[in-house]
Amino acid sequence: MRTLATAPPDIKPASPDYTQGPRQCLHVEELGRTWLLNRTGDLEAIWENMSREEFGEDERMPYWAELWPASLLLCRWLARNQELVRGRFCLDVGCGLGLTGIVGQSLGAKVVGMDHQWPAVYFSRENAALNGVAQPLWTQMDWCAPAFKPKSFDFMWGGDIVYETRFYHPLTKLFKEYLAPGGRIWLAEPRRSVSRPVWERLAEDGFGVQKLFTEPVPVEGYHVTVNLWELTLGE
């Protein structure tokens, strides 16, 4: 049996605790079924109540509370490739509300969902139970300081996680250290001209980079154009 973690991460509830209080339940129509996702019922309060200490030097924004179009495209991709991921160790990087991790687990993958923020981990676990899916291993963990065994994951994926330059080095270090030989990384992101240099830089830094396809994703009455990229590493 493969051991993934070197040490359990510290888990500290956020203050204020957004896991308590009223819920809002999202109904997501994908893959021929309705996925239910609970989140805090007062999103405005998250922003209004953020103290300078919570915002922090690394500006950890509460992106976990949103459902991003990139995550929906990843769900479709996982469903199309369920034979690849079934029985494989997979890492959902920045799991948010847990949808891609839940879908991956439902397809037979052995998913670890990680997020820096505790409410994301809490709601991901709640949402897996809500959808009747066996629990992935959810963990509160910073991608700047991961605690996995090297080369643990056959596949990694993330939805809209390379949107800021400061995330580049921590993420590429994570990919290089924890992707198993022959593994693949799938990154979905809305089509943005500002992101183009990222893919060129990844290629310069030794990754095989391929844009798999571009697809419109419906969100609240309009469509967002999302790209799906695949990264690989040489042996």
* Of 91, 148, 146, 96, the residue nearest 121 (C-alpha): 96
Query: What secondary structure does DSSP assign to 36-60, as a single string?
Result: EEEEES-HHHHHHT--HHHHTTTT-
79-66-165 Cα angle (round to 5):
90
Q: Quote the pLDDT of residue 57.
A: 46
- CATH number 3.30.1330.10 is the correct assignment for the domain at 64-233: no
The model's pLDDT over 159-205, given as tens digits with 9 standing for 90+, comes to: 989 877 788 999 999 999 999 999 999 999 998 776 778 999 999 99
The model's pLDDT over 109-150, given as tens digits with 9 standing for 90+, comes to: 999 999 999 999 999 999 999 999 999 999 999 999 999 999
Q: Quote the pLDDT of residue 10.
A: 44
* Of 107, 98, 106, the residue nearest 133 (C-alpha): 106
Q: Quote the pLDDT of residue 21.
A: 76
Query: Any alpha helices (H) in 64-147, and if so which ranges?
Result: 69-80, 82-85, 99-106, 118-130
* Of 123, 116, 169, the residue nearest 141 (C-alpha): 116
Before 150, cis peptide (omega within 30)?
no
Q: List the domain boundaries for the chain.
A: 64-233
Q: Quote the pLDDT of residue 99.
A: 98
The model's pLDDT over 17-63, given as tens digits with 9 standing for 90+, comes to: 777 778 899 999 999 999 999 998 766 666 666 554 554 444 556 77
The pTM (predicted TM-score) of the whole model is: 0.87
pLDDT band of residue 14 (cuts 50, 70, 90) is: very low
